[in-house]
Chain A
Amino acid sequence: MNYLGKDVELKVVGTRPIRPDGVEKVIGRAAFGADFSVAGMIHGKVLRSPHAHARIKSIDTSKAEALKGVKAVITANDLPNIPSEEAFVGEGPANFRDMSLNTIARDKVLYDGHAVAAVAATSPSIAEEAVRLIKVEYEVLPNVIDVEEAMRPDAPVLHEDLFTQGVDPKPTKASNIAKRMEFKLGDSASAFAKADVVVERKYKTAPVHQAYIEPHACVVSYGADGQAQVWCSSQGQFMVRAYCAKLLGMDIADIRVFPLEIGGGFGGKTLVYLEPLALALSRKSGKPVKMTMSREEVFRGSGPTSGGAINVKIGATKNGRIVAAECEVMLQAGAFPGSPIGPALMTPFAMYDLSDVTIWGYDVVSNRPKVAAYRAPGAPVSTFATESAVDELAKQLGMDPLELRLINAAKDGTKAVYGPTLKDIGFVETLEAAKSSPHWNSPLGEAAPGKLRGRGIASGFWFNIGGESSGATYVNEDGTITVVSGNPDIGGSRASMGMMAAEVLGMDVKDVRTVVGDTTSVGFSFLTGGSRVTFATGMAVTQSAEMVRDELCKRAALLWEIPSEAVEWKDGKAYPAGENAGKFDPLSVADIAAKSARTGGPITGKASINAQGAGPGYATHICDLEVDEETGHTTVLRYTAIQDVGKAIHPSYVEGQLQGGAVQGIGWALNEEYVYTKDGRLDNAGFLDYRIPVASDLPMIETILVEVPNPRHPFGVKGVGEPPIVPPMAAVANAMENATGVRMGSLPMSPPRIRAALDAAKG
């Protein structure tokens, strides 16, 4: 059933209770990946490649093995050499052979930081010393870092067996282009003839890291009976279990994964890095093994997300109707195929009702770490380009960029270029909210001497996903409720799960405790990603709570000896449904729980579903900034994030998603990038040189929650985590253009680049 009607009075959903896991986190007692220990555990460390591209000629581990305290040394030979097998994992396609080779290199290293061997020893310092004693003989090969250079016919080839998919005829020569994809609606090439104004420009974005503050960490214990336990921080306990089973050649039933608290992920913890190595080390040593990454290892050996090169061409009539659009996206995958090229093509025009549009792109490998998902993977890269182009179009047409967006906005019934007909969307509502926002209606203000001020606006889209999810609701002996979710809580989902269950049961949220189950205590759930948890797992939890509510009515009926249809549930109690049902005092959950042994035993609801009908998310952001002409330094003065969220279960955590996503986008726009040396080594693998936004860089981030309910979710939820990182790069670039008159086509818009662009504009 759903709770969307105007006559439905919501008592819990939409309020702001304190999250159930909050106290543990503010007193320092919550256990994250590296906080967990088991008796007798030893410590693992990884040897990583110093080369961007090299053949491994030999690995001599004898000196490391001879060091006192060393219990196991592994190379790729300690893991099965698995065949190529395509699969849809995480938020995109992958290949388990590649996943294995990314975890530990076999014949070739493909990036600076690629794991080559691992050691387990009685202390972390002995393990580190042993890593230094491993001798690897490399034959260094030419490398390629840049995406466009990697596409050239004469570029060094990473994989001799990589032939471009999606082109006809199939190439006979291996290249770094793994795949070509295209979406097409109408005929863009001829539709440009109808345009009065055409803008065309090339854009480029740098790869950026998810930069969660918690480095990857795990503890594993492989038993002599071949059964293993894994305690780790990840975006999916079932994902860790499945990947480890595949990479180690184990049965899924022989691995039990306990999810620890996760210290940020943003998509970057939808893969395994350490867990398979720790399992192999534990198997070889016979001891539990703990592994943690250093920050340098996080930068060199995990994530980041793709950078890209994008060409955009858009044409419009004088009255502002976009009549033709084309976009080409070249997206870095890192060392193995599997960039988010699909989403990068699906998203950047989905804000608009277009009849003639072609968008195509390439998945390109190069000597960088294999990319991992990062919040709306692919969309920020391509949307930076298209939303910059829309702004440029508005300027050429002499139109307000918000009005131009309103004229072309996608509405219910708009057919998206990637196939679906959009419904129940709230894009226009975000634009209208922007138009009437305090921010849009306040003057920009005068810049100080030597500074330039500007305002920009941009929008973004993310399709959001549903998928397989499980939730359970248990009535405890005293009438309190335990809810078990199958998804790691990355930003407050225990609060939203508990609130939905409390709403269904008519109870105080304080009497509902939500926990995240291990892989044996709740049904399978796909990982925490795609902004799916409050939608899909929330739907499962809601259904499990409804089962419990219905069962509570049945039990009351048994106690009263009346038909169960004659019982109604209201405010956490069973009541006779009317005068004909008889006169009975209402029964609380505690009353019914106390007598459950007499009425059939424990009261439990469990739901395992494949949730369909995720509602797409739209966001519109406004940015005011000031640029220092002398230094090129940019200060964000004011920022507003507006988003259609369907229904905010816990508005504070929804606002938090908008604020956090916007600030990550501001970092992406202004500062963040992977910097490589000429020989292909990462040159800024630390938080000092890879600078994410800090508190003093930012103003308050204003939020406006637009609620156009998703009728396919019981409370109207749409995913909210990913859309907020889509508009910021263009919002900042458009504000920059407004301030300086210079269109910045390349990210990040760091001070040296701004200076160079201002100097070039002056001539």
Chain B
Amino acid sequence: MAKTHVTATINGEETEFLCDGQQTMLDVLRDEMGLTGSKEGCGSGDCGACSIIVDGRLVCSCLMFGAEAEGTEIMTIEGMADGENLHPLQQKFLEHAALQCGFCTPGVLVASKALLDKNPNPTEEQARYWLAGNLCRCTGYDKIIEAVMDAAAEMRGE
């Protein structure tokens, strides 16, 4: 089967790749680009571990075909920090011990960034509903929510 040539901006870099019709964006990121920070927890859009931001929208990359990436701008967990400077969310996740095993963490961080991009001042309830698509089995979400609220406050300059 002929492969599709795709050009997309991934984490700020214009990137070209070839993918076949069955490959999801998650497959492309992990298997073709070596960006294994996005995780496959379910492959059905239920766990959020593969969350990426596509043209400003939060997307489960396991539900998107690689071929759909043509012309898009994509951010993955690997593009969240600015070089050695962690994003405030990443720093707050470390300070609040908001991760245990760390497997869901990339997806939760990307989803949290999408939340704060849209709503810099969420209530706890808004944060909980926004993150309801990201499963975490270790933490009970408590420290995740604390970290998100604290990062939001810091980013607002409070």
Contact = CB atoms under 8 A, between A and B. Distances in A.
Contact of A27 (B47, B81, B127, B136): B81
A696 B132 contact: yes
Interface stretch (A18-26, A95-103, A499-507, A736-744): A18-26
Interface in B15-42: 22, 30, 35-42
B120 interface: no
B138 A29 contact: no
Given A211-B137, A263-B103, A696-B129, A19 B94 contact: yes
B61 interface: no
Interface in B97-150: 97, 99-106, 109, 125, 127-129, 131-146
Interface in B51-77: 76-77
A693 B43 CA distance: 19
Nearest to A703: B142
Contacts of A655: 97, 143
A18 B39 contact: no
Given A28-B38, A295-B41, A491 B90 contact: no
Interface in A659-714: 659-664, 686-688, 692-698, 700-701
Interface residues of B, number: 56
Contacts of A35: 30, 36
A28 B76 contact: yes
B86 interface: yes
Contact of B43 (A25, A264, A295, A694): A295
Nearest to A33: B103
B141 A698 contact: yes
A266 interface: yes
A686 B41 contact: no
Q: Is the interface of A mostly helix, strand, loop or mixed?
A: loop
Contacts of A653: 97, 100
Contacts of A294: 43
Interface of B: 22, 30, 35-44, 46-47, 49, 76-78, 80-81, 86, 90, 93-97, 99-106, 109, 125, 127-129, 131-146
Contacts of A27: 37, 77-78, 80-81, 86, 90
A34 B96 CA distance: 27
Given A26-B93, A27-B78, A295-B41, A264 B101 contact: yes
Given A28-B37, A686-B46, A688-B44, A695 B143 contact: no
B86 A26 contact: yes
B44 A663 contact: no
Contacts of B97: 16, 19, 492, 650, 652-653, 655-656
A: interface residue count bin: 35 or more
Given A26-B105, A28-B36, A295-B43, A213 B142 contact: no
14 contacts: A22-B94, A26-B90, A26-B99, A27-B86, A28-B77, A213-B104, A263-B39, A295-B43, A492-B100, A656-B140, A688-B44, A695-B129, A696-B129, A698-B128
B76 to A, nearest CB: 7
Contacts of A28: 35-38, 76-78, 80, 106
A31 B94 CA distance: 18
Nearest to A262: B101
Nearest to B46: A687
Interface in A242-273: 261-266
A493 to B, nearest CB: 10
B73 to A, nearest CB: 18
Contact of A663 (B46, B78, B95, B141): B141
Nearest to A662: B140
A263 B140 contact: no
A215 interface: yes
B121 to A, nearest CB: 18
Given A25-B99, A213-B39, 9 more contacts: A213-B137, A214-B103, A294-B43, A656-B97, A656-B138, A656-B140, A692-B137, A693-B140, A694-B134
Nearest to A295: B42
Contacts of B93: 22, 26
A212 interface: yes
Closest 7 CB pairs of A and B: A28-B37, A263-B103, A663-B140, A25-B102, A28-B77, A652-B97, A687-B46
B101 A491 contact: yes
A264 B37 contact: no
Given A32-B103, A261-B102, A659 B140 contact: yes
Given A687-B44, A695-B127, A26 B103 contact: no
A30 interface: yes
Contacts of B22: 125
Given A27-B77, A491-B100, A695-B131, A264 B138 contact: yes
Contacts of B86: 23, 26-27
Contacts of B43: 294-295
Contacts of B146: 700
Given A490-B101, A695-B127, A652 B140 contact: no
A29 B37 contact: yes
Nearest to A650: B97
Contacts of A650: 97
A214 B39 contact: yes
Given A22-B94, A26-B90, A27-B86, A34 B40 contact: yes
B140 to A, nearest CB: 3
B142 A701 contact: yes
Contacts of B104: 213, 263
Most chain A CB inside 10 Å of its own CB: which residue of B47, B97, B109: B97
A162 to B, nearest CB: 34
